Each structure stands twice: as structure tokens, then as C-alpha cells.
Amino acid sequence: MSAPNKAASPLIYCKSHVAIHPSTKKDDNVFGFLICYRNVASSSTPSYGSGLGGENNHDFNVAWVRDDNISLSLKQQLLDADLYFADEYVKVNKHQGFGTTPTLTRKSLPNVDVRMLEYKSDWYCNINAVYSIQFRLPSQWYKGSIIINTKQHEYTSNIPVLFFHDDLCESTKLISKRLMLESFDPFTSERNLYWGGDDFKKFLNKNCDLQHANEVAGLNDNVYLVNPSLQDLRNFQTNKESSLGSSGLFDSSSKETKKPGLFESFEKSKWSVLGKIADVTNKLTNDDPKVNPILQTLYSSETINKLSNDKYVKRLLKKSQPQINKISSDFDGAKIYLAKWALNVKEQVEKQENVYKKLTNEMDNMVTEEEVHVALERNHPLSLVKWESMFDEQGRLKFTVSEIKDYIFHGGCVDDKVRAAVWPFLLNVYPWDSSEDERVQLYETLKTIYELNYKNQWVLDQTPDDFEEEVWKEEKFKIAKDVFRNDRHLDLYKHNTDDGNAVSVDPNSGNENAQIGEEDLDDDESTWVIKNPHLKALENILLSYNVYNPDLGYCQGMTDLLSPIYHVQQDEVVSFWSFIEFMNRMERNFALDQSGIKEQMVTLGELTSLMLPDLMAHLSKCDCSNLFFVYRMMLVLFKRDLDEEKVKQIWEIIFTNYYSSQFHLFFVLAIFQKNKVAIEHLEEFDDILKYFNDLKILDNIELMTRAELLFIKFKKIVMNVDETKTLSTNSSTEAGKDKLEISPRLRKLLSKEVILKNDT
């Protein structure tokens, strides 16, 4: 999507011969164009710093204009545009079967007056107003079509089903011809026969967060959610790939299984969805009565009978009588939807039930199943396209910070690319309400400050103002030794050479001694000289931080804290400022008198006494109540206990302060809970320390789930204690005597404010 003339035009998608079918008669069909265009007022801003790659197309309108409503010249322009986008499609999808020498039509994109189009259109709406789109594949008898559902109901009723007349549409013909000619493969990557709607789906996929609401009711009905909220996704969760079987389709309803109240909860969140499907089928019947028998032929009568005779389905159908009646009177096929859906729920329930039961039991039934569901549901990590869709055309966040944190807390980021964009916000380098331009400026400022105020102080072998020469030398040596040994198993840091690549050994000039000599040079520990540019950057940042915070000095563990941050960013400036924020949070761990880390150990001890009293009693018996065996976990936040990817997943959760600024303590508590049985078999400090040092936490999804539920339980305990207190002080003096007390220390765990060094 980088045609030179494209940026000038606000038109970003166009498809010809997209028709509405007001009646069953062919002659009544009305042809038109499906178009997408950027808002005329906004222009695309160059992206920088925030990770918003390329043009920001996430804010645009969708519209449909009928042929007979526009001038001939405008129509011609749109036909040209149609072909132009076909070329784009071919270019973009080259790797998916198109040959390398596509004979393009060489159409250029005409400068279409989109304001005029909008004015002439039957309807238009912003993409963010669209809730879902259903893509219905063409069949032998029917054209492929799409159904657009918007968030506002009144709106949706204005948008009729759009049929793609592939036999007439030049661009579609062009693309399918290419597919046939050049790869002899008329199928798309999804193994469906190519049709006109594929273009649109591809386009949307590129430009907004399009999520397949998979197999709703077990039918492959191709409903896609557009820029869904996390709540939508939770409701629509399909979760085929989940290893834990942690959640399933519609599983927030599954928690009510086999209880009479099933529909109370399902109605709230799910009924709207089913309602939409019902609406659609309703529309379908009006527009095209022949669809009904077709759908029915998908299932033999036996299947339908079997389905409707299933006890579970029966009960389900009976329970929801009013709604069922309404739907089935509208459209018989809806029954199948419901039946299949109910079966699906039942299946999921059986799988789920154990996980749910186990977790609720372990939390002493103090968490609701809804809470378990939310904690388990982690299948929607932030993707780059999702993240970008959260910004408006100025690169300003459209979502609330808490919504974004919900996303990160409950799913994290897909990969380091997303993290590189998200972490600077989490670590306060960029303000949440900044625009793209502001971030660009901020970056430049931060760069200047970093270089002038901190790096330049030492960079030419000088001793910074606040240091004596001898002390500075020692600090430098300490840092070099730790950086030299930092995460050398990772590709980024592996080779200590000037370009960070392996020393290439010329097999021909094979003087063996020379080779060994070179390897030695690479590894020679006695010199501690750092050459790898990324290790060098770590060293630079740590030295500069030393100048930034001369009172603290370098402490072992800091390299561990910096390494993943740099690994994600690979930018010295952003990493430096991210590290400063991270260190604000971690600094108290490094206080010379160890007040900070001890304070946390005491807090953790009190928390464990409250939440896992048996375990704490056991630890005390083993002379381990000081909890020193989790010292390493606390100091470097699990960096040594998890592999790189998992460390990042845990850290981004901690960075959010979503529930608590000390959420890491709940992670430790979760580890305690999970390993309780094993720990209770150990009786000496040595053995317990060894157990924790060698503990490799494999399932960190479970860890996250447990930590969240433990927090919720903790919060409820505090609330309960407070309630009983108020009650007892009101009634009499007697009761409050041996009641549980929540220390101020524990109360602090409910705060989202980061505890700084000086606070302790």
C-alpha cells in the first residue's frame, strides 16, 4: 500500500457492482459502490516513536453509493479506483500464490471527491461504529454478501445486506483471473473460493482489528467483530488453541451450568449477540426467502431432531421460551443456531467445570465464577493492529487508560514489537494523553537530556562531577563485570564483537591457532572489555543511571532489570528513561540498610499468614518465616526464574499497577499456593531455598490467574473485616476483641501508587 499517489487521496477502498436486493426480482437489484475513505478533515500523520507503523488508517468511513445517484464521470473514477485496488490486492497478496510478474492494469488512483460521495451515499458510517460484519460466501445459487452490524441498532437497520456481483465486477474478475492464470489456485489463503468480499475483508484486516467470532453456534457463519472491546471478545471467546482449556465459547455463561439461573447471566452479555444473529436471519428472510431452505439443508432432519431432543438443549430452549418463540417465529433456522450453541456451551462446560471448580475451591469459594472467568480469560493479547486502532488520527489514545491496562493485564502484548510501542507508556516515558507529534518532540528532548546531562559526563573517560575518580573506576568495573555476563544466551547479546555478529572464520585460511585465539578474544573474561553494541548500550545506560542517581550507585541486579527493557526497545534513549521509571519502583530493594526489601518480606509474611496460614505456620516451624528464600525473586522480579518471554509477560502486568502497585507479592503468593504441598514436605531452610532457586515456573498463565484471584480474595477479606468492624463498634464493645486486624502494611497492598524508596 505504498503507491506514490495514494497518500493524496482519501479514498482507501472501492468495490464496484455491490448491490442491494430490495426484492427477489432480479430487476429490482440496485447496483452501487462500496467505498471506504478517510475523514476529509484529517490527514495522515507521519508516525514516529510510538510504534504506530505506517499510515494511520484506523479511522475511516464506510459508505455505499448507488450507481444512478452519481455522475458518469464520478462513476468512471470509481471504476478506475476499483481496478486500482485490485492491483493493490494482487501486489499485497503476491506471496499467497500470485506469480512474481503480475500484469497489472497500471491504473492510477483517481483523485475522487469523497465529500461528494459521502453526500450522495445511501448511508455511511465510521468504522468505529461498526460492531460486526458477517461475510456470507457465495454459493452456486447465491451471490456472496456481507451484513454490517453497527453498535447502534437504528443505524444497522439502515444498512441493507450488500451483495457482491462477482460476474460483473471488473476488479473481482481481474483478481480471480490472476489467481487462475498465475497459480492455478482459485482459492484464497483460507481455502475458500475467492470472491468479491475477500478484498473487503483483507482491507479491513489491514486497517482495523478484525476478529473472527468463530463458529458461533457451531456454524461457520463468518462473523467478524470490528475493533472489539475486551468485553466483546470475552463474550465471543472461542479458544481453540488454549492449552489449559482455560476458557471456552460463551463460558461466562458456563459457570451457571446446571443451575436454574443459567439465563440470568447469559441474557445480559450473550443475548445481545444472539439477538443480532436473529436480526440478521430476520433480514435474510425478508431479503431472500430462499435462504431459509438452504440453511436447513445444511442439517439433516435427523440432526435437527437429535439436537432438539437433547435434554440439555430442551431445558435451555424451555428456559428461554419468550426469546425462542420470538426468534423461531421470525426464522426457523435460528433454532438450529440455538441448539448448536447450547450443545457447544454444554461441551465447553464439561471441559471447564473442573478448572473452575478447582480454582474456586482453592480460593475458599471467596471468588465468584465471573471473577474466575475474567482471570482465566487471557486469549486476547494486544496485537500491533489492535494497539494502533486505539489511536485517533493524531496518534492520541481513543481508549481510556484503564481499558488499555485491562487489555495488558489480561492478555499482555503479542510480541516485542507491540511491547516496544506499549512499554514506554506503561513506564511513563510518554504520557497517555500525548499525540504523535508531542511524542516525537518529547523523544528529541529526552535524547538531548540523556546525552548532555548524563552520558556526556563520563563518555570521554572523564569522571562525573559527583564522583571521586577511584569510586567511579570501581563503579565502572562493577558494571562492566555484570554486563559482560548478562543474558549472553540471547542472540542480541551473544557475540562480544563490534558488530554483535559471530566472528566469521574463514575456512580456507585455517590456521587453527589463529581461530582459537580469536574465540578466546571473544570470551576473555579477564579483560571484561565489552564490544557488542547492545551490551555496550546496557553499559552506557547503567553508567548514565549512576550519574543520574549517584547516591544509589550500581547494585547487582540492575543489569537484570535493564536487560529485558533494552531487549524490547533496542533504543538507548527510550530504554534509559524507561529504566529510570522502573528503578523508581525497584530502588527501595537496593537500599543499603535493606529496609526496602525487608519491608517487602515482612509484608509478604503478613500476607501469607493471612491467606495461607497453614503454609506460614510450616515455614515458621522451619525457621523460614523471614522468607529469605524468595529474595532473588523479589530483587529482580522473577528474572532468574522464568524464561525471557515469560519475564516480559509478568513484568508488563506488574507495570500496569492494575490492581496494586505491589502485585508482584501476589505472584509470589500464587507461587506459594501452587507449591504448597511440596513446600510442606521440606523442613530445612536449605532445602526450601534450594527448592525456590531451582523452581522453574512453567505455567505462567496459571500463575497470573492465581495471582489475580488471590488479590480479589484478599480485597474481599479486607472489606469483610472492615464491615464486621463497623458492625461490632455499632453494636457492642465485646465482639471486636479477637477479630482479624488488617495492618497498615497489608492495606497498602490495595493501593496502586508505586512505593518509592523514600516512602519506606
Partner 1 sequence: MSSRKKNILKVIILGDSGVGKTSLMQRYVNGKYSQQYKATIGADFLTKEVILEEDEESGNQGAGNFASATAGDSNNVKSNKKTATLQVWDTAGQERFQSLGVAFYRGADCCVLVYDVTNQKSFEHLANWRDEFLLHANISSPETFPFIILGNKIDVDDSKKQVSTRQAQEFARNFSADVASSASDNNSFGVPLFFTSAKGDLNVDAAFQKIAKSALQQNQYDMENNAFDDEEFNDAINIHLDNGAGSCQC
Q: Which residues bind partner 1 (CB under 8 A)?
A: 474, 477-478, 481-482, 485-489, 523-528, 555-557, 559-560, 590, 592, 594, 597, 623, 626, 628, 631-632, 635-636, 640, 684-686, 689-690, 693
For residues 489 and 737, which CB has a smaller minimum distance to partner 1 in the complex? 489
Q: For residues 325 and 44, give the distance between their C-alpha atoms in angstroms, rounded to a whole number.
A: 50
- Kind and range of the H or E run holding 547: helix 533-548
C-beta separation of 378 from 410 below 8 A: yes
User: Which residues lie across from 66 on neighbouring strands?
Assistant: 32
Helix count (H) and strand count (E) of the chain?
A: 33, 9
Q: Minimal distance in Å, beta carbon 529 to partner 1?
A: 12
Strands, E assignment, 137-180 = 144-150, 162-164
The answer to whether residues 422 and 655 touch, using CB atoms and an 8 Å cutoff, is no
Q: Grid coordinates in use for 381?
A: 493479547
Q: How far is the CB of 550 from partner 1 (least distance, A)?
A: 15
Whole-angstrom CA distances from 127 to 45, 63, 151, 209 are 19, 10, 10, 10
Is 139 or 594 the residue whose CB approaches partner 1 more closely?
A: 594
Measured in degrees and rounded to the nearest 5, phi and psi for residue 185 equal -135, 100
For partner 1, the closer of residues 305 and 556 by Cβ is 556
Q: Classify burial at 481, counting beta carbons within 10 Å of its beta carbon; exposed 0-12, middle 13-18, buried 19 or more.
A: middle
| Closer Cβ to partner 1, 154 or 468, answer by number | 468
d(CA 634, CA 344): 43
Which CB, 690 or 752, lies closer to partner 1?
690
Judged by beta carbon, residue 473 or residue 752, the one nearer partner 1 is 473
Q: What are phi and psi of 16, to 5 degrees?
A: -90, 170
Rounded least distance, CB 544 to partner 1, Å: 20
Angstrom distance (rounded) from CA 112 to CA 282: 36
Q: How far is the CB of 463 from partner 1 (least distance, A)?
A: 18
Closest distance between partner 1 and the C-beta of residue 486, in Å? Answer: 7
Residue 330 or 474 with smaller CB distance to partner 1: 474
Looking at beta carbons only, is 548 or 628 nearer to partner 1?
Answer: 628
- Contact between residue 479 and residue 560 where contact means Cβ atoms under 8 Å apart: no
Minimum distance of partner 1 from residue 676's CB (angstroms): 22
Q: Residue 729: left (phi > 0), alpha (psi -120 to 50), or beta? A: alpha
Residue 300 or 556: which CB sits closer to partner 1? 556
8 Å CB contact between 126 and 104 = no
CB of 695 to partner 1, least distance (A): 12
Whether residue 679 contacts residue 672, with contact meaning beta carbons closer than 8 Å, is answered with: yes
Between the two ends of the chain, the Cα-to-Cα distance in Å is 54
What φ, ψ does residue 397 adopt, rounded to 5°? -65, 135
Whichever of 347 and 518 has its CB closer to partner 1, that residue is: 518
Nearest approach, Cβ of residue 474 and partner 1 (Å)? 8
Residue 452 Cβ vs partner 1, minimum distance, rounded to whole Å: 30
Cβ atoms of 253 and 262 closer than 8 Å: yes
- Residue 489 CB, shortest distance to partner 1, in Å, is 6
* Angle in degrees, CA 100, 102, 104, rounded to 5: 155
